[in-house]
Amino acid sequence: MIATTLIKQNMEVLGSDGVHVGVVDHLEGDNAIRLVKDDPEACGEHHYIPLAWVVHVEMKVHLNQPGDRAKSRWASQ
């Protein structure tokens, strides 16, 4: 399990292929990350990705799936 304390506001979120998915706005409850709506990938909406998709956090949040797949599966507000 990922230590959620490592996930910080404004961190970039990347797919397993290195593709930009979004930027962290904040943690939403105990199981999701809310992405900022101002990112070009967001099209003006907040999107949510499950913490279960996160494989590791360093300077960026890295997901267990390619960026395009994550964007096709994220939840919108």
Q: What is the pLDDT at residue 58?
A: 92
Domains of the chain, first to last? 4-76 (2.30.30.240)
Q: What is the pLDDT at residue 41?
A: 86
What's the average pLDDT block by block, 10 residues per block, for the chain (77 residues)? 88 98 95 95 93 96 97 90
Of 18, 28, 21, the residue nearest 7 (C-alpha): 28
* Model confidence, pTM: 0.94
Q: What is the pLDDT at residue 1?
A: 66
- Contact by Cβ (8 Å): 39, 33: no
Rg (CA), the chain: 11
